[in-house]
Amino acid sequence: APLAFVSPTQINAQVPYEVNEAQNVPVVVTVNGVTSLSVPVNVIGAAPGIFQFGERRAVVQNQDYSVNTADNAAAVDSYVVAYLTGAGRLDNNVASGAPASAEPISRPRVPVTATIGNMPAHIAFGGLTPNFVGLMQVNMKVPPMPPGTYPLVVTVGGEKSNAALITVR
C-alpha cells in the first residue's frame, strides 16, 4: 500500500486500486523489521471522507479559490470545491501511488451526490484531482438557502461521507 504519511501514532496509506471490494484484506504493519499481527479489513466499493480542519470544517474552496470559513462564506448559487478521499473504482484507472492525470480525467464508476444542510447540491464534477494521489474533488453549486453554517455530506455509490461544515452567505 502506498504510504502518504507516517508518524509514531498514525499511518495514512492508500488502499491499492487492485484490491477488490467485498474482500477481507489482511493488513500488516512493519516498522524497523518488526511485523505486527495481521488484521483483516473489509474493503467496500467507496468510502468517501471529507477532509476537515479546525472545528469539523470541510476543506472547501469558495468560487474565488479562498478557503470557506465561518468568516468567509460561499454565496448561494456559487460553485465550491470540496476535497475528500475514498472515490473507489474509477472509469480511467490510475496506478496505485501515482498522481491522477488531467487527461483523461478519472471519475468514480458510481454516482456522486452531495447535500448542504440536507439540500441537494448540483454536481458539476466529481472525480480525482489531477496531479494528486488519491485526492477526490467535488465541484458543486450551493443551493438556495438562508445564511448559516451547514453540514456538507458527499455520497459516492450510496456510501455517505462524514458530515463536515460549510458556511453560506
Q: What one-character DSSP code corresponds to residue 169?
A: -
User: Using one digit for the tens of pLDDT, what is the confidence trace for 91-139?
Assistant: 999 999 999 999 999 999 999 999 999 999 999 999 999 999 999 999 9
Percent of the chain with pLDDT over 90: 89
pLDDT at 111: 97
Cis peptide before 16 (omega within 30 of 0): no
pLDDT at 18: 84
- Angstrom distance (rounded) from CA 135 to CA 107: 11
**Residue 133 has which C-alpha cell?**
494521489
Percent of the chain with pLDDT over 70: 100
Task: List all residues 6 or more positions away from 72 whose beta carbon is below 8 Å from its beta carbon.
Answer: 62, 66, 167
Instruction: Tell me what the mean pLDDT of segment 30-40 comes to.
Output: 94
pLDDT at 156: 98
Q: What one-character DSSP code corresponds to residue 119?
A: E
- Angstrom distance (rounded) from CA 104 to CA 106: 6
Is 142's pLDDT higher than 90? yes
